[in-house]
Amino acid sequence: MPRLNRAVQIAAVMLAVFASPCFAQHDPGVRGGPPGAGEPVPGLTPNQLAMFNEGNFRVTEREATCDSCSDIIPGTPTGQDPLLQTITNSAGLGARFNADQCSSCHSQPAIGGSGGFLVPNPEASHRRQPENPMFDLIPHRRGETNQVPSFITQFGPIREARFVRKPDGTPDGGVHQLFTIVGRVDDRTIPDCTAAVLPQPDFESQVRNHNISFRIPLQMFGLGLIDTIQDIEILSRHDSTADLRTRLGIAGVPNRSGNDGTITRFGWKAQNKSLTMFSGEAYNVEMGVTNELFPQAVEELPACNGPHKNHPNDVTRTDSDDSRNQGFNNPLHELADWMQFTLFMRFLDGPQPVAFSTSAQRGQRLFGTDVHHPGVGCFLCHTPTMQTATATEIAALQNKPVNLFSDLLVHHMGPGLADRITQGLAQGDMFRTTPLWGVGQRIFFLHDGRTDDLMQAILAHDSSVGEVGTGAFPPSEAKGVIDAFRSLSPSDEQAILDFLRAL
């Protein structure tokens, strides 16, 4: 009996030790300090830097529903903090939208980032705590009467919603905008645009029927560098790890353009070919702003578009003077907003890591760096570095290392992560390897933002069971790597977390 009591005491002490903060692995959370992102690529010419700065401004413009509805002439600086802006200084917001300002969904940790919280009452003398801008700010900013769906929470992730299937059972997969302009007080040209004419989608029914999938905003940092990586570089990096990947059950395939067959690389499923495509689509899909690449509106109801909105709306400027900030002879004003957005992304530098602690250095080795130092194998999908093309029109982007931590390929991620939406060659359980540079300052993780805990995001890569309706999908390609991760000691797991939060 005394021996048994002694064993119980020893077990209790060991449990307490391993449960203590010194040994229990945990996500250290969003790191503080400077953002380490949001700056232009070093080495830009004066003209390129001017275009970057103009694009940075356009990203922060707030959209009105028509030219005559804007508070000030579109393209005019407001003098306000871009993240506390109340003045509309652009035009073209669609009848359906997810946001009325690019930077509303791309502000963490700097403009161009992924998601972020904003002050919901910037005009008030006593400002409230920053929160998800989709919870109150965006849906009600100018008197709109939108109901906020249940999957948009006060301190949760910014999300767009896609429906898996249409009512007739055929595949859907498209974005269904959360909000409408019904009730907007600054556009007197749409009195007949009521909720009966322009209802919000019935999101709650789609949630109950397991027919909805969510995606959170991706960061835009370093996308010009990624855009400049050649296909041959992507494929050669992939081929160099073939033996190791085979042992761990990792495949990975490129998604490809249906037009020229080259590798597509932007978006959660690498569904977009280029920054130009990504930009034009974002303007129309997220804000309803028609443009030269997407000239038809998401919602074309005449009653909700008014008589003072051109279609397409955001196009190359051809005015003979700059009275509307659209002078053809002004190179900074000639390009449409969506084109300047493209240049902003092209010239935006990648996020910079902080100095690695001793633990983070060990974590880097355990994460894996190359075939000679494979660690647990994380690097097999999250390729640490690629190289841009040796010669480009933009010298600042040529022959540069890109420390993106992604192979830019799509992988089967298992039923637990499946969204049941196919885009190009990316099937319903396949996602592009998300670049990890800048992950140290991201708030939410995985395609739907289901967790703000980096540890949980890692473990979710070994997904075997999904929610109702996900169907039969193969096991996650990451299972072998996650098994190896789980076999590590708590301190080694913590080291990998510390490494990632330093990126």
pLDDT digits (tens, 9 = 90+) for 159-170: 999 999 999 999
Is the pLDDT reported for residue 11 higher than 50? no
Please tell me the total number of residues recorded for the chain in this structure: 503
Q: Which residue is listed with tokens 């510390």?
A: 498
Q: Which residue is listed with tokens 């939108």?
A: 146
Where does the pLDDT of residue 210 fall: very low under 50, low under 70, confident under 90, or very high at 90 and above? very high
Is the pLDDT reported for residue 471 higher than 90? no
**Neighbour tally for 183: CB within 10 Å:** 14
> What is residue 84's three-state secondary structure?
helix
pLDDT confidence of residue 143: 96
pLDDT confidence of residue 467: 57
pLDDT confidence of residue 18: 36
Residue type, 481: V
Q: Judge whether 391 and 405 are in contact, CB under 8 Å.
A: no
pLDDT confidence of residue 157: 98
User: Can you say how many angstroms the Cα of residue 447 is from the centroid of all Cα atoms in its chain?
Assistant: 8
Q: What is the CATH number of domain 17-30+230-264+353-502?
A: 1.10.760
pLDDT confidence of residue 445: 98
Backbone φ and ψ of 72, nearest 5°: -135, 170
Backbone φ and ψ of 303, nearest 5°: -65, -25
Q: What is the mean pLDDT of residues 314-327?
A: 96
Closest CA to 71 of 61, 81, 84: 61
Is the pLDDT reported for residue 13 higher than 80? no
User: Can you say how many angstroms the Cα of residue 436 is from the centroid of all Cα atoms in its chain?
Assistant: 12
> What is residue 160's three-state secondary structure?
strand
Backbone φ and ψ of 179, nearest 5°: -125, 160
User: Can you say how many angstroms the Cα of residue 234 is from the centroid of all Cα atoms in its chain?
Assistant: 21
Q: Judge whether 373 and 365 are in contact, CB under 8 Å.
A: yes
pLDDT confidence of residue 20: 38
pTM here? 0.92
Closest CA to 150 of 212, 104, 243, 82: 212
Structure tokens at 83: 């993240």
pLDDT confidence of residue 470: 55
Is the pLDDT reported for residue 9 higher than 60? no
State the first-to-last Cα distance of the chain, in angstroms, to the nearest integer: 53
16 or 374, higher pLDDT: 374
Structure tokens at 331: 């190179």
Handedness of CA 350, 351, 356, 362 (dihedral sign): negative
Q: Judge whether 381 and 433 are in contact, CB under 8 Å.
A: yes
Where does the pLDDT of residue 2 fall: very low under 50, low under 70, confident under 90, or very high at 90 and above? very low
The rounded distance, in Å, linking the Cα atoms of 288 and 65 is 10
Q: What is the mean pLDDT of residues 414-423?
A: 96
> How many angstroms separate the Cα of 156 from the Cα of each of 3, 211, 315, 483, 503?
51, 21, 35, 29, 23
Where does the pLDDT of residue 10 fall: very low under 50, low under 70, confident under 90, or very high at 90 and above? very low
pLDDT confidence of residue 30: 96
pLDDT confidence of residue 464: 76
